[in-house]
Structure 1
Amino acid sequence: MTLLHLSLAARSPEAMARSLARLMGGRALPFPPCPNAWIAFAAADDGTAVEVYPAGTRVLRGAETVAFAAGPPRRDTSATHLAIASPLSVEQIEALARDCGWTARICDRGPFSCVEVWTGEDLLIEVLDAGMLRDYRREMTAGNWRAMFGLEDGR
Structure 2
Amino acid sequence: MTLLRVSIAARAPAAMAQTLARILGGEALPFPPCPGAWIAFARDDGGTAVEVYPAGTRVTKGPDAVAFQGGPPRRAASATHLTVASPLAATEIETLADTAGWTARPCERGPFTCIEVWTGEGLLIEVLDAAMLSDYRDGMAAANWRAMYGTEE
Q: TM-score range by the shorter chain?
A: over 0.9
Using the TM superposition, give the Cα deviation of residue 45 of structure 1 relative to its aligned residue in structure 2, in angstroms: 4.1
Q: Deviations over 1:6-40 (max 9, x none)?
A: 00000000000000000000000000100000000
**Is the counterpart of residue 112 in structure 1 residue 112 in structure 2?**
yes
Letter in 2 for 1:152: E
Task: State how 1:9-48 maps to structure 2 within 5 Å.
Answer: 9-48=9-48
* SS at 1:39 equivalent: strand
Answer with 67-76 or 50-59: which moved more. Answer: 67-76
Structure 1 distance, partners of 2:3, 2:78, is: 20
Which runs of 4 or more aligned residues in structure 1 lie more than 6 Å from their structure 2 counterparts after TM superposition? none
Q: Deviations over 1:91-144 (max 9, x none)?
A: 101111110011010000001000000000000000000000000011110000
Percent identity, aligned pairs only? Answer: 69
Which residue does the alignment assign to 1:124? Answer: 124
Using the TM superposition, give the Cα deviation of residue 75 of structure 1 relative to its aligned residue in structure 2, in angstroms: 3.3
**Alpha-carbon RMSD:** 0.7
Asked whether the equivalents of residues 28 and 41 of structure 2 are also in contact (C-alpha less than 8 Å), the reply is yes
Letter in 1 for 2:19: S
Q: Deviations over 1:53-77 (max 9, x none)?
A: 0000000000010000000112331
Asked whether the equivalents of residues 76 and 122 of structure 2 are also in contact (C-alpha less than 8 Å), the reply is no
TM-score, structure 1 normalization: 0.97
Which residue does the alignment assign to 1:136? Answer: 136
**Is the counterpart of residue 65 in structure 1 residue 65 in structure 2?**
yes
Unaligned runs of 5+ in 1: none
TM-score, structure 2 normalization: 0.98
Task: State how 1:71-86 maps to structure 2 within 5 Å.
Answer: 71-86=71-86
Letter in 2 for 1:122: G
Unaligned runs of 5+ in 2: none
Structure 1 distance, partners of 2:5, 2:53, is: 13
Letter in 1 for 2:30: P
* SS at 1:14 equivalent: helix
Q: How many residues align?
A: 153
